[in-house]
Amino acid sequence: MVGPQGGLRYAVVTIEDVKDGKAAVLEAGSALDNQKCRFVPHVQALSVGQFVYLTNTDPILHTYYAVLKSNRVLFNVALWPGRQVRKPMVDSGVVRITCGVHPWMSAYVVVTDGPYHAVTDAEGEYEITDVPAGRYTVQVWHELLGSTRKQVEVKAGTKTQLDFTLTMPRGE
């Protein structure tokens, strides 16, 4: 989804290999719901050890079939209306979630080793806070446009802006 100013929604931005700084809140989690036969939100980011809360607020049965990019199945859960299940994110990587009942439904959970990640909003903007000073590699991932990396230096007490430009791969 591209916003009016060209910003890209649902890209995941991750700062890699931060050695110091905050730890991920392991008992935290995020909900993944069904709304009118769509997974909502479509893309989210969590840290290893956090949970995704699978919820079905639709009036019909849905399944949550979660696979890591390596084709390893993480879980396959059927949820009747009004039900909720909590599943841990135990490995880092891109998790694709589909519904076996409705093949057009898909969502992504990008699971990172640390807490320094964000999903871009409708304007293509993101914010990652409390990053300790240092030089880092920042990766951006999008389900259709792939991923790219940039180097950035974060200085203590200042805000750092880092923009990315993603393009459709040739032949698409």
Q: Which of 7, 103, 13, 92 is nearest to 47 (CA)?
A: 92
- The answer to the question of residue 171 being in a domain is no
Q: Does the model's pTM come out above 0.85?
A: yes
Residue at 46 is within a domain = yes
**Number of domain units in the chain:** 1
Asked if residue 170 is part of any domain, the answer here is: no
63 within a domain of the structure (yes/no): yes
Please give the pLDDT value at position 28: 84
Element (H, E) at 153: strand 146-154
Task: Return the pLDDT at 1.
Answer: 62
In a domain, 159, yes or no: no
In a domain, 137, yes or no: yes
73 within some domain: yes
Domain region containing 67: 12-154
Residue 19 in any domain: the answer is yes
Helix (H) or strand (E) holding 8: none
Structure confidence at residue 169 as a pLDDT band (50, 70, 90)? confident
- Predicted local distance difference test score (pLDDT) of residue 22: 87
- Return the CATH number at 99: 2.60.40.420
